[in-house]
Amino acid sequence: MSQRSPQSVMAFDFGLRQIGVATGNCVLATCQPLTVLNARDGIPDWVAVEKLVKEWQPDVLVVGLPLNMDGSESELSRRAKKFARRLHGRLGLPVEMADERLSSFEAKSQQREQGHRGDYKARPVDSEAAALILNTWLAERERSY
């Protein structure tokens, strides 16, 4: 039996205090920032995560992997992988990791270009960073076909 190609995807920008979420369409190669979930030491409100997944019904989940600039892993990388394993275990959906080097930096740059003055507490960039992670994942997926 062949596995069907994913249609919809949900991406997460893992953080210890906030986790950005974005959704996307694999067929159209589009994505959009969705929301920011509060987390306590990297642990989200799992009920809120499950509610989002139930509402958007993604076929696959993508978690940003925060690698060091030289490609090596950090403590945050290991925590993001643990978060990905928990997502899979709780939700039963396939989870893929995507290199997210500089995604938050890029999201902040985009906000500055749009005229926002750097008050990231009032306007967190985490969901925009999740959308950038998803864009990268979609582009990599496109190249592999």
pLDDT, one tens digit per residue, over 15-33 is: 999 999 999 998 888 999 9
Q: Pairing state of beta strands 30-40 and 60-65?
A: unpaired
Please list the ranges in the chain whose pLDDT falls under 50: 1-2, 119-122
For residue 7, the tally of other CB atoms under 10 A from its CB is 14
CATH of 8-144, one of 3.80.10.10, 3.40.50.970, 3.30.420.140, 1.10.15.40: 3.30.420.140
What are the Cα distances from residue 140, in Å, to 47, 61, 81, 135, 145? Answer: 31, 15, 19, 9, 9
Give pLDDT, residue 43: 95
